């Protein structure tokens, strides 16, 4: 049986008095790719940001309910430690513009004040870039700025930066929406490889992408989790009419 790595129980999130994530209970199985989809404003990105406590960084943002990593309540742990275990990749590739590719990969260690030997740093850079399927393309230009890379390569660099911290879970917020189809395909292939070692939760507007990359899919609508099922089942036989209307493009 698949073990659960993240579990949310009756989880709610607010922006001031605006209730944007409503009573979400769902289990994320380990080493799965879980897609979260839904129309704009449905709370999917907010939910994602609640998983590694990014939500609370916004003024007036609050959350309640349980969010567990294994059996530990994420909201009882130091948020810095939470973000070490639960990494995040954003919609637009955002390598640090003034840092080299090499320094981008180990930026998490530098920013959290963790000192590493040169050999250890080299190992982390090589293994992270290899896992992000970028090593062969950049191994001879590690000291060039990350911003010299193409959009797809920059996003893979951001993934390398996230996995350099050896997280257990990787959150991806529309990671390919700014990329061309070839870069998108390489990121999708990468997600398939990464799930061997990590659990991935991806917010996407691209339903075909959700279908291609994920094992399970959650459909959010006005802050509620409408349906959560195996992706193949969801895309062939959704149980809720709202899910069906959304994925078939009949949403008004």
Binding site for another protein (CB under 8 A): 207-208, 211, 235-238, 243-244, 247-250
**Strand-pair partners of 24:** 11
Given the complex with another protein, which of 141 and 248 has the nearer CB atom? 248
Q: What is the DSSP string of 152-194?
A: HHHHHHHHHHHHHT--SEEEEESTTTTS-HHHHHHHHHHHHHH
Given the complex with another protein, which of 106 and 247 has the nearer CB atom? 247
Start-to-end Cα distance in the chain = 39
Contact 75, 55 (CB under 8 A): no
For the chain, helix, strand, coil in percent to 5 are 40, 25, 35
Those residues with Cβ within 8 angstroms of residue 192's Cβ, 6 or more apart along the chain or in another chain: 33, 213
Residue (of 36, 39, 63, 38) closest to 52 by Cα position: 63
What secondary structure letter does DSSP report for 145? B
Q: How far is the CB of 233 from another protein (least distance, A)?
A: 9
Given the complex with another protein, which of 110 and 232 has the nearer CB atom? 232
Q: How far is the CB of 207 from another protein (least distance, A)?
A: 7
Q: How far is the CB of 248 from another protein (least distance, A)?
A: 5
Given the complex with another protein, which of 109 and 235 has the nearer CB atom? 235
Given the complex with another protein, which of 183 and 243 has the nearer CB atom? 243
Q: Name the CA dihedral angle for 27, 33, 37, 41, rounded to a multiple of 10 degrees.
A: 70
Q: How far is the CB of 194 from another protein (least distance, A)?
A: 24
Given the complex with another protein, which of 99 and 185 has the nearer CB atom? 185
Q: How far is the CB of 32 from another protein (least distance, A)?
A: 20
The residue written with tokens 């993240």 in the block is 6
Q: How far is the CB of 249 from another protein (least distance, A)?
A: 5
Cα(248)–Cα(57) distance, integer angstroms: 35
């Amino acid at each position: 049986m698949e073990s659960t790595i993240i579990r949310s129980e009756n989880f709610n999130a607010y922006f001031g008095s605006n209730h944007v994530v409503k009573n979400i209970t769902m289990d994320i199985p380990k080493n799965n790719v879980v897609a979260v989809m839904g129309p704009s404003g449905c709370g999917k990105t907010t939910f994602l940001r609640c998983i590694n406590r990014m939500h609370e960084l916004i003024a007036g943002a609050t959350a309640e309910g349980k969010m567990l990593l294994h059996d530990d309540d994420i909201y009882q742990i130091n948020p810095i430690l939470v973000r070490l275990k639960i990494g995040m990749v954003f919609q637009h590739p955002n390598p640090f513009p003034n840092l080299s590719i090499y320094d981008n990969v180990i930026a998490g260690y530098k920013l959290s004040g963790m000192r590493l030997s040169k050999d250890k740093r080299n190992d982390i850079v090589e293994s992270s870039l290899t896992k992000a399927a970028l090593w062969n393309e950049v191994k001879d230009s590690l000291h060039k700025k990350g911003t010299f890379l193409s959009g797809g390569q920059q996003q893979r660099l951001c993934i390398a930066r996230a996995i350099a911290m050896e997280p257990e879970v990787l959150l991806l917020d529309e990671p390919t929406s700014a990329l061309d189809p070839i870069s998108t395909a390489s990121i999708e292939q990468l997600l398939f490889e990464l799930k061997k070692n990590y659990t991935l939760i991806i917010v996407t507007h691209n339903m075909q992408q959700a279908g291609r990359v994920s094992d399970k899919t959650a459909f959010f609508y006005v802050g509620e989790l409408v349906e959560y099922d195996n992706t193949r089942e969801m895309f062939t036989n959704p149980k809720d009419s709202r899910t069906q209307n959304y994925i078939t493009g009949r949403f008004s």
